[in-house]
Amino acid sequence: RKEVEQDPGPFNVPEGATVAFNCTYSNSASQSFFWYRQDCRKEPKLLMSVYSSGNEDGRFTAQLNRASQYISLLIRDSKLSDSATYLCVVNAGSGNTGKLIFGQGTTLQVKP
């Protein structure tokens, strides 16, 4: 089992659609959770950190379920510019070594 698993997609959605990405992680000791966005041939950019209570930033909502070891990202009112690969990222358990584990990424294509 991979340490962080995501559905690779691609997700092809029309503009204005709502799309949800899911991610599961295997290490119950993980404490920090993030969503990064990566455009083709660019570096990953931090989209949002994911907190236990869930958090929202504009059209983006992230949720964490520690019991199920599950993280989600919801994008509302999709824009063409949301087309990218979304990486679910989890820290590598306790110890806070700075080591992050990346999922394989989910590709989103928003079409006009």
Q: Write out the residues near other proteins by the rule CB under 8 A.
A: 31-32, 34, 41-46, 49, 51, 87, 91, 96-100, 102-105
Closest distance between other proteins and the C-beta of residue 24, in Å?
15
* Closer CB to other proteins, 17 or 104, in the complex: 104
Q: Is 53 left (phi over 0), alpha (psi -120 to 50) or beta?
A: alpha
Closest distance between other proteins and the C-beta of residue 100, in Å?
6
Closest distance between other proteins and the C-beta of residue 30, in Å?
11
* Closer CB to other proteins, 15 or 39, in the complex: 39
* Closer CB to other proteins, 5 or 76, in the complex: 5
What is the pairing mode between strands 33-38 and 84-91? antiparallel
* Closer CB to other proteins, 49 or 109, in the complex: 49
Closest distance between other proteins and the C-beta of residue 108, in Å?
15
